[in-house]
Chain A
Amino acid sequence: MDFASPSLDIQRCGALLADASPTTVSAFALTIAAGICAAGLAVLMRPGAQGIRIAGTVLALVGFAMLSVEVIKRASVGSEAAGFPPVFPVIFGLLSTIGAVRVITHPRPVFAAMYFMLTVVSTGCMFLLLGAEFMAFALVIVYAGAILITYLFVLMLAQQSPVVGVGDAWYDRVPREALSAVFIGFVMLATLSDAYFSAKGQSFIADKMQASEFDGAVAGWKRLDAMPKLLRVAAEQTLAVEVAMAKDPTAAATTPVAISEVVRNADGSAITMHADTASIVVKLTDGSTRTLALAPSMMPENSRQVGVDLVSKFPAGLEIAGVVLLMALFGAVILARKQIELGEDERRELAGMRRFTVEGEAGGSGGMQ
């Protein structure tokens, strides 16, 4: 199989040259933006007057805007086209951030859980934008549908309702060591953003994306190769399209051709990959063979690929996940069970021994006598 592609190499060289040129991003912009975010959050953490809260919100929003502008600017460094400005990632990122900040600043736990749901849904949208459809819906179903509901149930079981005149419980209103926590968070955010978005990190990401683009396609086609039924369907659809396109309107109607089998190579693979196309060879019912070029839309969709990877590459992990869930089930049952104090007699009886009581001795089944 011919995997090497000259055009990819040229692209890679171009990217390397572009990366070598001096970049226009400043070194401390990200750290400053993270600092502004942290200052806004520090203001928001403290319970205060409304004016102060609004100032904190504005500060945090400015910090977020600076961070995202800087991050988007760095994404286009080293690539030739500026690309469409990423509107949806910014919107969902903002929504998700607002949700997360409200989770940690809202004095009422039920509202915090609701804002967490906002975070979950907009993170799910982010997953969609990244092309991970299956995980997006799994996330919303599992998190928003199951885990959050459990949290809300426990909140209803355990939370005291706010008392009139006193308001919410004091431990929900007053944070513990807010300033040091925010400082630790600032260090974390500055470190992470420097690791991700420094010139070195960005060129690593760009290189990896270009280098693995072809591998990703190859992996997708290989998964299709491993699914004979789907491969056959793909071959039939491709053949139908080709026949429809090749049809001469003036020609007389010919007998329709159909696929009798998909020809496999010596190593068992049916799909042959070239520089940027994939093709299969099929044997038709009239005995002739034909080469079909597969369209990109024939590649298995995301959920199918995840499923195939899950059971073929990580079967042990799947089993362990099942064991973890089972153990969590046992643990939850044991924790939630009401403790019943048993007397000495009941315990002896459960152990299959005779009771100590007089009636037991007198009317027992006579094991000892």
Chain B
Amino acid sequence: MIDAIMNSSHVLVLATDSASDRSSINMALLLSAILFTCGLIGFLSRRNMIIMFLCTELMFQASALALIAFGKVHHDVSGEVFVIFILTVAAAEAALALGLIVLLYRRRETLDSEAWSELKEA
């Protein structure tokens, strides 16, 4: 009887369809590359300070997705634990950055990052 059950649950090792698994991992990696690139382009080229910080969130998303995809490659949940830390850092960053932005907006009455360009060296 036990043998019968053991045979019926023969595919115990997480019954994975390797090919489709790999293609979804590849899509996730591609998406993470695209998201990071979009975030980078947005951070470099947008002038609105709020959108610039939104783009950093985009990059956080990308790294979280890559961590989870590689965690799946290694069949390990440590990647997901790291994503929890990314979420924490993103939340802390949003709170601080938005507080700063409100402060800067009160000084100059504009969200344009160029308004602060005298901060750069000569």
Binding site for B on A (CB under 8 A): 37, 41, 45, 64, 67-68, 71-72, 74-76, 79-86, 88-90, 92-93, 96-97, 100-101, 103-104, 109, 112-113, 116, 119-120, 123, 126-127, 129-132, 134-135, 138-139, 142-143, 146-147, 150-151, 153-155, 157-159, 169, 171-172, 174-178, 180-182, 184-186, 188-189, 192-193, 196-197, 202, 205-206, 208-210, 212-217, 219-220, 241-242, 245-246, 276-279, 291-293, 295-296, 302, 305-306, 309-310, 313-314, 317, 321, 324-325, 327-329, 331-332, 335-336
Instruction: Give the Cβ gap from A175 to chain B, nearest Cβ, in Å.
Output: 4
The answer to whether B30 touches A212, judged by C-beta atoms less than 8 angstroms apart, is: no
- How far apart sit A134 and B84, CA to CA, in the bound complex (Å)? 10
- In the complex, besides A205-B73, A276-B11, 17 extra interface pairs with C-beta distance below 8 angstroms are A41-B41, A83-B17, A103-B54, A103-B55, A104-B41, A116-B57, A120-B61, A139-B83, A150-B95, A171-B47, A171-B114, A205-B25, A206-B18, A209-B25, A217-B13, A325-B88, A335-B96
The answer to whether A293 touches B5, judged by C-beta atoms less than 8 angstroms apart, is: yes
The answer to whether A131 touches B72, judged by C-beta atoms less than 8 angstroms apart, is: yes
The answer to whether B90 touches A147, judged by C-beta atoms less than 8 angstroms apart, is: yes
Instruction: Give the Cβ gap from A46 to chain B, nearest Cβ, in Å.
Output: 10
A242-B2, A332-B99 given as contacts; is B41 within 8 A of A309 (CB)?
Answer: no
A324-B88, A336-B102 given as contacts; is B2 within 8 A of A293 (CB)?
Answer: yes
Complex contacts, B120 vs chain A, CB 8 Å: none
The answer to whether B30 touches A193, judged by C-beta atoms less than 8 angstroms apart, is: yes
Interface residues on B, range: 35 or more
Residues of A contacting B: mostly: helix
Binding site for A on B (CB under 8 A): 1-2, 4-6, 9-31, 33-42, 44-48, 50-51, 53-55, 57-58, 61, 64-65, 68-69, 71-78, 80-81, 83-85, 87-96, 98-103, 105, 110-114
